[in-house]
Structure 1
Amino acid sequence: MNIAMKKPLFILMSILILSSCESGNSNYLGQELADVEREKVAVGYGNPNESMKLSADSYSGRAMATSNFVEQDQTSKIITTADLNMEVASLEKFEASLNELLSKYKANVTNQSRNDSDRRLDAYFTIRVPQDQFNNLFDGLKPFAKKIEHQSLNQQDVTEQFIDVETRLKNRKALEARYLELLKKANNVNDMLNIERQLNQVRSEIESQEGRLKYLNDQVDMSTIQLNAYEVKPYVYEPENQDNFGQRILKSLANGWAGLINGIMWIIGLWPLFLVVGLVVLVVKKRKA
């Protein structure tokens, strides 16, 4: 066999060997993707009772981070809210004192409104205060009250929610790292598109869990006080304005004339009845005749 015939044969064999390697690598990658999906099912991925950790990695002898998860923070997470409804002597002076208290305890007003009625002036405040300063601020408001109508305190333990969100977030970050490693091994378009689709879904869930965790942290770190302070306006007697004698006579005449016109119109409106009565009378008279 001459050199000219050997060269095409060598190229053909090389192509077959490369194709076989690529097929084998694709099958291997497909097996790894299947392993990831089985692990997601095993831990109840996305279910309310999702497991605390993903199972052991089934490829390359690398453990799937059962030991890599950070130990959960077991400190209690409490959301504290309170309502305070109280009367103050002067709303203007109280608001000035309130600003001093807010500055002292590093609190701030996130929402404020007023309502001015005939008998009282109301001011509504939504106050956010660091949790460690909550008691100081809440107790500091009461001495300004002329009368406390209502006060309540609510503490919600969200430790379980907090741990659940952290667990889901860590599981998804571990899964994201797993997909990134698989993406590096992908050598064809289909595998790349499949992994990137899964990766985008996981990253979307990571953003959602991070947002939820941020919200819980904010609610725990900053307590909320719903404050309604009101000032009762002094009662001022305002006599009714009454018409003088002449105006009252004119009104009586006008009312009497209007009553007369209305009576006449009412009588005119009964003309069908008068017509029927007249016909009945005529018929009776003719029969008697």
Structure 2
Amino acid sequence: MRQLFFLSIFILIISGCSKSSTSNEENISIEAVKLPPKAGASSGDKDFDPVAAPPVKVKQEIEQKIIKEATLRFETDNLENTFKQIQKAVANSKARIINDSEGKDYETVFRNLIVKVPSQNFDRFISDVSKGVSYFEVKNISAQDVTEQYIDLTSRLKTKKKLEERYLEILKKANKVSEILEIEQQISTIREEIEAKEGQLKYLESRVSDSTITIEFYKTIPEKEGVKISYGSKLWNAVKSGFYTLSDLLISLLSAWPFVILFVVFAYFIRRKLKRRKKE
């Protein structure tokens, strides 16, 4: 009996050891299998999910749309040399002069230019024009960001074009004359809106691609020369004005000669009648 008791205890011990080794082997095999970590995450993260796929990041780069404008006003000693310098800057920057005007008042002789410059050459043109200028009486440079407006117009235009395509597809399937006329009217309305949006977009693109620069440069007239011009010109203008007034008066009298003759004849008969009455 004692031998049987020890034998059963021995069998129980051996079976327990085998179960423990099997459990340890399973744990080791599970720990040995590791899934690849997610991009940008570590095993220490709380929300780390090794099974989930890494998120796809989509980057959309939108080019900024900037409208640049400038106004420059400065004094110069030589108008012609300054204009030649501006012409050279225009050629170097591939710009163009769209308006050129000049004039004179009692104190200055001036010249005004409006120049269209490619936006990428805006800073270069300003730098070339500024060479030799001691100071600017006016130097106003502005930059207006119209990217949002440009995106909005582009989006609306795409939407209108897609709507037009849908109406064209419906028009192909229409059978009734009334349906065809109604769809064509809708297409015509959409087409007008598309053309309006395209016009706005082209205008915006032209303002973005070409910057507008207004340049005014002037030369001060010496004080003595200014006095001579002001008073001398006034006297001469007065003489010419008097001559023209006298000429106008003579022309007016000549044009009224029939009335003068009638007046003379009428006065003659009245005078003759008065003389007869005195004799009586």
The separation in 2 between residues aligned to 1:174 and 1:124, in whole angstroms, is 47
Q: How many pairs align? A: 171
Shift of 1:72: 7.7
Please report the TM-score for the alignment, with normalisation by the length of structure 1: 0.56
Instruction: Summarize the Cα distance change of 1:111–1:72 in structure 2 as closer, same or farther, 3 Å threshold.
Output: farther
Q: Is 1:129 the equivalent of 2:117?
A: yes
What's 1:209 paired with?
Answer: 197
* AA matched with 1:198: Q
* AA matched with 2:206: D
The separation in 1 between residues aligned to 2:184 and 2:61, in whole angstroms, is 32
What's 2:133 paired with?
Answer: 145
What's 1:112 paired with?
Answer: 100
Shift of 1:145: 2.2
* AA matched with 1:205: E
The one of 103, 113, 126 equivalent to 2:91 is: 103
What's 2:66 paired with?
Answer: 78
CA deviations on 1:92-119 (whole Å, 9 max, x unpaired) are: 1211221111111100112222221121
RMSD: 1.9
* AA matched with 1:185: K
What's 2:75 paired with?
Answer: 87
The separation in 1 between residues aligned to 2:221 and 2:132, in whole angstroms, is 17
The separation in 2 between residues aligned to 1:108 and 1:144, in whole angstroms, is 22
Please report the TM-score for the alignment, with normalisation by the length of structure 2: 0.58
* Conservation of the 8 A alpha-carbon contact between 1:173 and 1:206: yes
Instruction: Summarize the Cα distance change of 1:157–1:128 in structure 2 as closer, same or farther, 3 Å threshold.
Output: same
> What stretches of structure 2 of length at least 5 have no aligned partner?
1-58, 233-280
* AA matched with 2:88: E
* Conservation of the 8 A alpha-carbon contact between 1:89 and 1:146: no
CA deviations on 1:250-285 (whole Å, 9 max, x unpaired) are: xxxxxxxxxxxxxxxxxxxxxxxxxxxxxxxxxxxx
2:207 counterpart SS class? helix
Identity of aligned residues (%): 36
What's 2:264 paired with?
Answer: none
1:208 counterpart SS class? helix
The separation in 2 between residues aligned to 1:219 and 1:84, in whole angstroms, is 19
The separation in 2 between residues aligned to 1:220 and 1:166, in whole angstroms, is 15
2:162 counterpart SS class? helix
* Conservation of the 8 A alpha-carbon contact between 1:94 and 1:144: no
Q: Is 1:154 the equivalent of 2:142?
A: yes
* Conservation of the 8 A alpha-carbon contact between 1:73 and 1:163: no
CA deviations on 1:74-133 (whole Å, 9 max, x unpaired) are: 111110111111111111121122111111110011222222112111111111101110
The separation in 2 between residues aligned to 1:164 and 1:210, in whole angstroms, is 12
* AA matched with 2:126: F
Pairing 1:152-191 to 2, within 5 Å after superposition: 152-191=140-179
* AA matched with 2:200: R
What's 1:269 paired with?
Answer: none
The separation in 1 between residues aligned to 2:219 and 2:134, in whole angstroms, is 9
* AA matched with 2:136: I
Shift of 1:147: 3.5
The separation in 1 between residues aligned to 2:61 and 2:174, in whole angstroms, is 37
Please identify the structure whose Cα radius of gyration is greater. Answer: 2
* AA matched with 1:227: I
* Conservation of the 8 A alpha-carbon contact between 1:72 and 1:163: no
